[in-house]
Structure formats: structure tokens, C-alpha cells
Structure 1
Amino acid sequence: MDVIKSTTAASHWTALQVMQDAPVIPVIVLNDVAHAVPLARALVAGGIRMLEVTLRTPQALACIERIAREVPEAVVGAGTIRNAADAQASAKAGALFGVSPGYTRGVGQACRDAGLALLPGVATGSEIMMAQEDGFTELKFFPAMQAGGPAMLKAWSGPFFDVKFCPTGGVTLQNAPEFLALPNVVCVGGSWIVPADAIKAGDWGRITQLARDTAGLKKPG
């Protein structure tokens, strides 16, 4: 099977660069467009600039657009990309990378066509092989804890020695170091940096501190 091809200019960010920028990519759910810019600024102030805004609310695309336009220090991406329409709308809103909960060839092709660096979601060996066939070697392991946690990633390090992962789903500040200690893990994805109660209350100082705490996580060696 041929590797899927890009038909448009790609983002200057690659999936690996997105993963390498910080130990954690925040998984963000926004219900109010007014929260988008102050949240992004709070995260950037804490040392986190790769921001995954999930397409789980009607306001998500507007939030991506506001961040892309008003917080140039941030690199905003779209999470929960499930189809070509999601990829196209995300790129139009200003997203520079995409994250999907699973993988299909259609999603992979749509993201390449839209110029989005993609972190495809995988939970099984077969899904990893499908993504690799299409040229993706940096993958999101989701849902990480429910699908086997660090033990599964250790098992995959043999047959999939050339794949790098961003585990997401059930990852916390407490268990993130165990994931980051694995040689095939570049970063983790987590929502603990952006708690819903802090966003609702506009407690941006708390989010900046959580980002600082998270940015301080380092891979061993």
C-alpha cells in the first residue's frame, strides 16, 4: 500500500517537533470563547505553548481561531479530529497540528491535504501498523491507562522500535514521570493542567502554575 501523499504545503511544524517542545501537551476543552485567549496566555506564561483544543464543544473552532489570531506565541492544534471535515475546518480556523482519537486513512490524508501535522491515535498493534503504512511514526497512545499503560508501551518497544508515542488518557502529574521514563515516549497529553473549575473561575494564575509544574517534568537522561 502506498504512503498517502500531501497535496498542499505542510505546516512548518512536524509531529515530532510538536511532541518535543515540552513534556506535556495540554488537552483543552473550552465551552466559552471568552476563555480561549486568557487560557492560552496563561499556559504560555507557564512554559507550555503546544495547545490541543479538542473539537468536543460547539465553540472549539472559534476558540482555535481566537488563539491563532491573538496569541502568536502559542502553537494551537485541534484535538478529536475524526473526519476530513474536522481537519479542513481546523486548518481554516488556524490550527497547525491535529490529534485524532483513532486512525483511518481518510483522516490521515485529510490532515496532510490541510497541512496539519497529525498525531494519530492508536491502541493496538494493528492500528500502529496501519498508521506506519501511511508514513506516520509519531503516534498518540489513547486511551493510555485503559489500554495498558506503561506496560503496553514497554511491550511495543520491541516490535515497534522505530515509533514514538504521546500517551494520553488517564495521565496525571503523578504518573507522567513513569511514562516519560520510557525511551519510546516523547511527551504525554493531559487535562490536569487545564482543570475545568479553574477555567470556569478564570483562575489563570493557577493554570500558569500548573503549567510551570508540568514544564518542569524532564525525561531521564
Structure 2
Amino acid sequence: MTTLDNNQQQRMADKIAQIDRLCARARIMPVITIMREEDILPLADALAAGGLTVLEITLRSVHGLTAIRRLREERPELCVGAGTVLDRQMLAAAEEAGAQFIVTPGSTAELLQAGLESDVPMLPGTSSASDIMLGYALGYRRFKLFPAEVCGGTAALKALGGPFNGVRFCPTGGVNPDNLQRYMAQPNVMCVGGTWMFDSEWVKNGDWARIQQCSAKALELLA
């Protein structure tokens, strides 16, 4: 079993605190895949105008790193992280682009170790108790539950709360306005991730006002 020294323990505690602060700010974190570079700023502006200012930009498209870099430079008031980080190389590229946090869809020993060494806080993905235990051994206490609905949704979160006291989650995958409140009512949920507030057709058509309105309505559900 890996044993963290005092310095590593303190660094991990600091990064957990950072994750807690950004999730408290976010409440709902848009998970964004940029398909056209011209959408980067207007989409971010529409989401922010609706109250969503913590953005996860996935690396699923060739525009992901560009989006992170531009938003960090041109919209410094936003908190911008990298999602769909799959390995050490992608983590390094996201750091270089200026990502303020890292989100992964799953956990590997290599990626968890890279996150431990990084100065940027990481939210590792999990879909099982075994995944959590891999991260737990390295000091991780905050995870992304993905795909949340497929993994059991709120029932899974209730079950995981027993053996993993002190662990909290950001469920992503299948979260929508119909189940949002149920997720956020779970004591081990700190925020949720989703895409429903910016339908791909709205982005394609430049319907920024609709995205702003949907973002604001999403937060109203948590009022």
C-alpha cells in the first residue's frame, strides 16, 4: 500500500480544499465539448450570464486545449478545467494550456500518480468501489461518479456513503432537470456535471439567449 509522506499529505489536503471551493462555486458544472473554435467565447459567455462560471472543457475534440487556453486568457473571471483526461500526456498538455482543475472519466494507477505529483487538483473518475479504493490509497477523497445514472444513480451514492465516509462526488452522465434535485440532496454530492443546458443544436444555431435562460433555470432548481 502507498503511504504518503507529510508533504504529500499536505499537498493533497490543499488540493481537496481547492476542489471543494470550486464545486461550491459551481453547483452545476457544464461539461463542454467544443466542435467549432468560433463557439468558445459566446458559449462560455452565455453559460456565465446564466450563472454557470465553472466550466469543464473536455479534450474530446481538437479544440479542447485551444478553448482552455483562450478562456484562461480572455475570460480570466471564469474557472476553467480540463475533462476527459486519459493519461499523463493529456494531463501535462492540459496543465500547459492553463487548466485550473483536471477531471478524468476513470482511474488508472498511472493517472492517479500523475495527479498526485501535479500542482493542479484532480477529480478522478470512478464507477465502482474498487476505483475509489485505488484513489483513496493515494489520498484522494473527491471523485467524479461516471456515468452516474448507469452506475446506479442516487442509490449507488447512498450505498457508497457507508464504506467511504468523508468521500464526496460530482455525478456526471445522465444528470438532468428531472433528477438534479435528487442528486444534490445526497450528503456525499458536492456538485453535478451535465450538458442539458446547452443542447448541441442550440450551440450550432448560435442560440445563446436560450442557453443563458436554460442555465439560469437549472440553478433556480437548487434555490
TM-score (norm 1): 0.92
Q: Distance in 2 between matches of 1:159 and 1:112?
A: 23
Structure 2 residue aligned with 1:142: 146
Give unpaired runs (5+ residues) of structure 2. none
Measure how far apart 1:115 and its partner are.
2.2
Between 1:43-52 and 1:102-111, the stretch displaced more is: 102-111
Deviation by residue 1:77-128 (Cα, 9 ceiling, x = unmatched): 0000110111111111111001000012321232344422111101111111
Q: Distance in 1 between matches of 2:111 and 2:204?
A: 32
Contact 2:16-2:142 at 8 Å conserved across structures: no
Q: Which amino acid aligns with 2:76?
A: P
Q: Distance in 2 between matches of 1:68 and 1:114?
A: 19
Contact 1:96-1:115 at 8 Å conserved across structures: no
Contact 1:53-1:60 at 8 Å conserved across structures: yes
Contact 1:52-1:77 at 8 Å conserved across structures: yes
2:54 counterpart (50, 57, 64)? 50
Q: Distance in 2 between matches of 1:16 and 1:153?
A: 18
Contact 1:88-1:110 at 8 Å conserved across structures: no
Structure 2 residue aligned with 1:212: 216
Structure 1 residue aligned with 2:87: 83
Identity value in percent? 39
Structure 1 residue aligned with 2:162: 158
Q: Distance in 2 between matches of 1:145 and 1:11?
A: 27
Measure how far apart 1:198 and its partner are.
1.1
1:170 aligns with 2:171: no
Measure how far apart 1:12 and its partner are.
11
1:203 aligns with 2:207: yes
Q: Distance in 2 between matches of 1:146 and 1:177?
A: 18
Measure how far apart 1:13 and its partner are.
7.3
Q: Distance in 2 between matches of 1:215 and 1:120?
A: 25
Measure how far apart 1:39 and its partner are.
1.0
Q: Distance in 2 between matches of 1:180 and 1:52?
A: 19
Secondary structure of the corresponding residue to residue 174 of structure 1: coil
Structure 2 residue aligned with 1:110: 114
Secondary structure of the corresponding residue to residue 166 of structure 2: coil
Deviation by residue 1:48-79 (Cα, 9 ceiling, x = unmatched): 11100111011111111111111111111000
Give unpaired runs (5+ residues) of structure 1. none
Secondary structure of the corresponding residue to residue 102 of structure 2: strand
Superposition CA RMSD, Å = 2.0
Number of matched pairs: 217
Within 5 Å, give how 1:17-32 maps onto structure 2. 17-32=21-36
Taking a change above 3 Å as real, the CA distance of residues 68 and 136 of structure 1, as seen in their structure-2 partners, is: same
Q: Distance in 1 between matches of 2:15 and 2:207?
A: 32
1:131 aligns with 2:125: no
Structure 2 residue aligned with 1:64: 68
Measure how far apart 1:216 and its partner are.
2.2
Q: Distance in 2 between matches of 1:104 and 1:82?
A: 9
1:186 aligns with 2:184: no
Secondary structure of the corresponding residue to residue 147 of structure 2: coil
Between 1:108-117 and 1:60-69, the stretch displaced more is: 108-117
TM-score (norm 2): 0.91
Taking a change above 3 Å as real, the CA distance of residues 49 and 120 of structure 1, as seen in their structure-2 partners, is: same
Measure how far apart 1:217 and its partner are.
3.2
Contact 1:11-1:97 at 8 Å conserved across structures: no
1:2 aligns with 2:3: yes
Secondary structure of the corresponding residue to residue 161 of structure 1: coil
